[in-house]
Amino acid sequence: MLKALRGTKDILPDDIGMWQVVEAFARDIFSIYGYKEIRTPIIEDASLFIRSIGDATDIVRKEMYIFTDRGGRNIALRPEATASVVRAYLENSMAQNQDLTKLFYIGPMFRSERPQKGRQRQFYQLGVEAIGSDNPLLDVETIVLAARFLQKLGLRDFKVNLNSLGCEKDKQAIIKKYRDIIKPYLGSLCAECGERSKKNVLRVFDCKNEKCAEAVKGIKFDNLLCADCAEHFESVKKGLKNSGVDFIVEPKMVRGLDYYTKTVFEISSPDLGAKDAICAGGRYNNLIRDMGGKATPAIGFAFGMERLILAGKDKISMSAPSIAVFMAIADKALEYDAFKMMSLFRDNGLSCEMDREGRSLKSQMRKAQKLNARFTVILGEEEFRRDKVILKDMNSGEQKEAGMDEVLKEII
């Protein structure tokens, strides 16, 4: 029997409710914060991601699904959406006359990683991008939005880690300094980190190998930010404190994508164990310029939805699925009339189901209960001849006769 590919999962009807609740909450709060949805293609020219995410990153080197299509083009399944959103922003001249463009997305991403709990090869992200301002209050707003979204979902004990990577110049200074600092440690790092230390030393601090993390644990990170970036970072911290969002400054947090500048952050949940990051984001003030647009500061984040749902499993409130009406048929001859009535209910916005297997009335009533029907309409021959049906309120258990033409009104 064929099976779903390793690292991919079906989201089944029994589980979809949680996904829909999370998406509905997200759409709600994103709209309150002024974001509009964008849907970009799942396939893109591979160079879009190689250039933006960086060719020394794990995502590009090891995780990206790349294939050559029938026209010989180099195509990637998107491993993340920021690069795609920026491409769409530029290609469609979305800046036009507005100073800030706020976009959100929900959709699948693809990374060829070793599957484990909270780590899949196809996973979903929901995220936002605010393009057009370097104001530190926008950083604050973005992090507050992520925090409020979690609180709205009922998740409260999350942790916000914060850092600043500075501007282009600061980043270069940081990289230069740590290339030297890392030298004595090279012997205790994995082979890849040896490579990383040459190509982009910051990647060493993002290595998932525990031995590497242990080896560099003792390295103290100095503040190498220029005056402007230091002030920006102070303003972000001040704004977060004013908004009541707790955070921890984590100087070693460099994030796994090259395009980040200035503010970066990660949100983790204690309910998740090893793979505890549910959200990550930051500023990418040079990406738009690097992709051929005019220099435009921007910031965004992405939530991993599988992890969000794992963390929220017992916290996100869900009402049991139900239907409005179940049509029970006492006589098979009335099947067509029942079907007609069911169509009338549905046309009027009521969810409705009926028996299709000629089961006994008793077993149909059990089915109505199982479907959590609010009402059951029973069609019996004797009543039908008098243009009546029996309407049963499944909450109170009361039942009464109702005229065929009244029953819809009664239910509504």
Whether residue 109 contacts residue 76, with contact meaning beta carbons closer than 8 Å, is answered with no
Whether residue 80 contacts residue 279, with contact meaning beta carbons closer than 8 Å, is answered with no
Q: Ramachandran region of residue 379, left (φ > 0), alpha (ψ -120 to 50) or beta?
A: beta
Say whether residue 102 binds ligand ATP (CB under 6 A): no
**SS3 assignment for the chain:** CCCCCCCCCCCCHHHHHHHHHHHHHHHHHHHHCCCEECCCCCEEEHHHHHHHHCCCCHHHHHHCCEEECCCCCEEEECCCCHHHHHHHHHHCCCCCCCCCEEEEEEEEEECCCCCECCECCEEEEEEEEEECCCCHHHHHHHHHHHHHHHHHCCCCCCEEEEEECCCHHHHHHHHHHHHHHHHHHHHHCCHHHHHHHHHCHHHHHHCCCHHHHHHCCCCCCCCCCCHHHHHHHHHHHHHHHHCCCCCEECCCCCCCCCCCEEEEEEEECCCCCCCCEEEEEEECCCHHHHCCCCCCCEEEEEEEHHHHHHHHCCCCCCCCCCEEEEEEECCHHHHHHHHHHHHHHHHCCCCEEECCCCCCHHHHHHHHHHCCEEEEEEECHHHHHCCEEEEEECCCCCEEEEECCCHHHHHC
Say whether residue 192 binds ligand ATP (CB under 6 A): no
Say whether residue 302 binds ligand ATP (CB under 6 A): yes
CB of 91 to ligand ATP, least distance (A): 23
Contact stretch for ligand ATP (CB under 6 A) within 17-25, 172-180, 271-279, 337-345: 271-279
Say whether residue 307 binds ligand ATP (CB under 6 A): yes
Nearest-angstrom CA–CA distance, 278 and 80: 14
CB of 146 to ligand ATP, least distance (A): 11
Contact stretch for ligand ATP (CB under 6 A) within 120-128, 188-196, 224-232, 364-372: 120-128
CB of 143 to ligand ATP, least distance (A): 14
* Of 132 and 304, CB closest to ligand ATP: 304
CB of 88 to ligand ATP, least distance (A): 19
Mask: binding to ligand ATP, 201-240, rule CB under 6 A, as x and -?
Answer: ----------------------------------------
Kindly tell me which residue out of 153, 155, 279, 316 binds ligand ATP, with binding defined by CB under 6 A. Answer: 279
* Of 245 and 277, CB closest to ligand ATP: 277
* Of 118 and 136, CB closest to ligand ATP: 118
* Of 137 and 213, CB closest to ligand ATP: 213
CB of 265 to ligand ATP, least distance (A): 10
Nearest-CB residue for ligand ATP? 304
Say whether residue 393 binds ligand ATP (CB under 6 A): no
Say whether residue 111 binds ligand ATP (CB under 6 A): yes
CA proximity to 232, closest of 295, 299, 288: 299
Kindly tell me which residue out of 125, 197, 263, 285 binds ligand ATP, with binding defined by CB under 6 A. Answer: 125
Nearest-angstrom CA–CA distance, 87 and 399: 61
Nearest-angstrom CA–CA distance, 387 and 409: 15
* Of 120 and 364, CB closest to ligand ATP: 120
Nearest-angstrom CA–CA distance, 302 and 349: 35
Mask: binding to ligand ATP, 59-98, rule CB under 6 A, as x and -?
Answer: ---------------------x------------------
Say whether residue 256 binds ligand ATP (CB under 6 A): yes
CB of 145 to ligand ATP, least distance (A): 15
Kindly tell me which residue out of 23, 113, 271, 335 binds ligand ATP, with binding defined by CB under 6 A. Answer: 113
* Of 2 and 274, CB closest to ligand ATP: 274
Residue count at the site for ligand ATP (CB under 6 A)? Answer: 18
CB of 402 to ligand ATP, least distance (A): 51
Whether residue 130 contacts residue 298, with contact meaning beta carbons closer than 8 Å, is answered with yes
Contact stretch for ligand ATP (CB under 6 A) within 92-100, 118-126, 164-172, 373-381: 118-126
Say whether residue 275 binds ligand ATP (CB under 6 A): yes
* Of 57 and 364, CB closest to ligand ATP: 57
Q: Which residues bind ligand ATP (CB under 6 A)?
A: 80, 111, 113, 118-120, 123, 125, 256, 275, 277-280, 302, 304, 306-307
